[in-house]
Structure 1
Amino acid sequence: MIDSKEPEQLVRVQANAGRSSGPDPVRQTIDLPGHGSFSVLRWESDASKPLLVFAHATGFNAGTYRELLGPLAERFRIVALDQRGHGLSDAEAEPDSLRTWDTFRDDLVAFLEHLGEPAFLSGHSMGGRVAMLAAAARPGAVRGLVMIEPVLMHPNVSRLLATARRFGRPPPNPLAQGAARRRAVFGTRQMMFDAYKGRGAFATWPDPVLRDYIEGGTRDMPNGEVALSCAPAWEAATFASAGHVFWRPLCRVRCPVHVLYAEHESTLRGDVPDLIRERQPDWRLDLVPGTTHFLPMERPELVQEAIRQMADG
């Protein structure tokens, strides 16, 4: 169970206009010894309901997924973590120190240990892979896992990237390069919304989801402007450190697993789904037609149903 905090440490996050059904979450700060201070969103519910822990994608934050997670509060107690260097978490995030996503795995494992009970895990993109790594590291703490568009590269690609990085010659990474160039400061959150709406990665996002991303991923500056709380340099470092070899941990996952992946621009490219099936024949892998890497924003009802079925199964 999550430790109770004093009332002043709990902040109810208000809903945006046009929001779908679902209760408002509470924001809570949790200190994980040896890891730092993390911000989480928690949907309060009956203690008899199962626990669901959600991990977000690179550059995003827990609040980005309020539209996805809110309706699930009828079935689960839900906690979504702002990962290191993201959202409103204050854990140390020095870009030069980030080598692999094992850093995020260790944070999530510590968080699961803090919760003190087995949980269902789910995650999008980086969050899906980090959740998988945590399930491999602490099998007794994970009851089931739903990964949405997880970053699972072909084993040859991951080995090549890991070897190149070991010798100090990593190949160019377009995602990292693009993240490093991101504009970090805007005059207002509305100006940020206007700049993002319908463009680039946000092209298929509904307005409430985009507003949640901005609300959960910005900080007020002393001069009245707002800045991205995930610094472009940290986002770039996160993308650049994605190539660490992970196929052995994948084979150590023992809980039920359901993977949803997109038809277009998916992180599960080529024959990667078939390779996963060879190594984990009991896993369920479903391609979702007409979707992109931002499947949770485009088809949240399918993700919600997959999570419900995992708990029911």
Structure 2
Amino acid sequence: MDILALVVTIAVALFFTYTNGFHDSANAIATSVSTRALTPRAALAMAAVMNLAGAFLGSGVAKTVSEGLIETPRGSTGMGILFAALVGAIVWNLVTWYFGLPSSSSHALFGGMVGAALAGGTTVIWHGVVDKVVIPMFVSPFVGLIVGYLVMTAILWLFRRANPHKAKRGFRIAQTVSAAGMALGHGLQDAQKTMGVVVMALVISGHQTYGDPIPVWVKIICAVMLSLGTYAGGWRIMRTLGRKIIELDPPQGFAAETTGASIMFTTAFLFKAPISTTHVITSAIMGVGATKRVNAVRWGVAKNIVLGWFITMPAAALVAALAFGVVNLVAL
């Protein structure tokens, strides 16, 4: 039964990674597709490959997820808590995907972990949740907004005398690089989050101890599932990011993607903080758009997106707590 519970939990974790891929693939490529720098399928293929590569660039975020948010639960109850946490995250991912709302898969996972832990009587490491999740949740969009505005302002100044048509063609090519950077950062951040969950499952089952390196097979399967999900595409969310916030042109798309990628790499390597790629790229698009004129950004759509950010963790936590109640009745 223990082995079966482990296999089922890892399978659900991989399905969460798959939903993360198609839910968040828009983060990396929506701007490139909307500006016609890349065709949708070419963009998705590129994003899938770069997600795969990014998953092997580090392990700091995985350690934060597996050790820094909740105390590792033990036994069959512990596996039930982890299973319920993943169910909460998956349900919220699917709901927000259906409505085309670019909410954060990361915060759905963290909310699910907290909700399931509270329902199962496991200690939540609140200072870790605050330091590594809540503070970055507020700070990273603000940074994305400001940096996106500054990067776009710098581009406008540097190319103020350039031929507009030639400049747009050049930035359309440059977007291939900036979109690849976004996808690489997405793999660095989001594949590691699932690696952290799988490691926690292995620790609960006694197949690994904390401090051991992440097994290579864990890195491979998490990276592959994220890439497959990315290639499946998240067209509903892509439309929201690519068109509904602001009509992007290639220089704006390049500025937003460069901003998002820079923030993701900085937080992953310097702070080991699992930030939301959705928060970063959405706020960067808003900042870039504001350089045109403040009312160029469709702030009504932006308001709905921001509202989704704030309800993601509580909503996923509630679903996870209910899921643990069902698991507890049926299987524990």
TM-score in terms of structure 1 length: 0.26
TM-score in terms of structure 2 length: 0.25
Greater share of strand: 1
Greater share of helix: 2
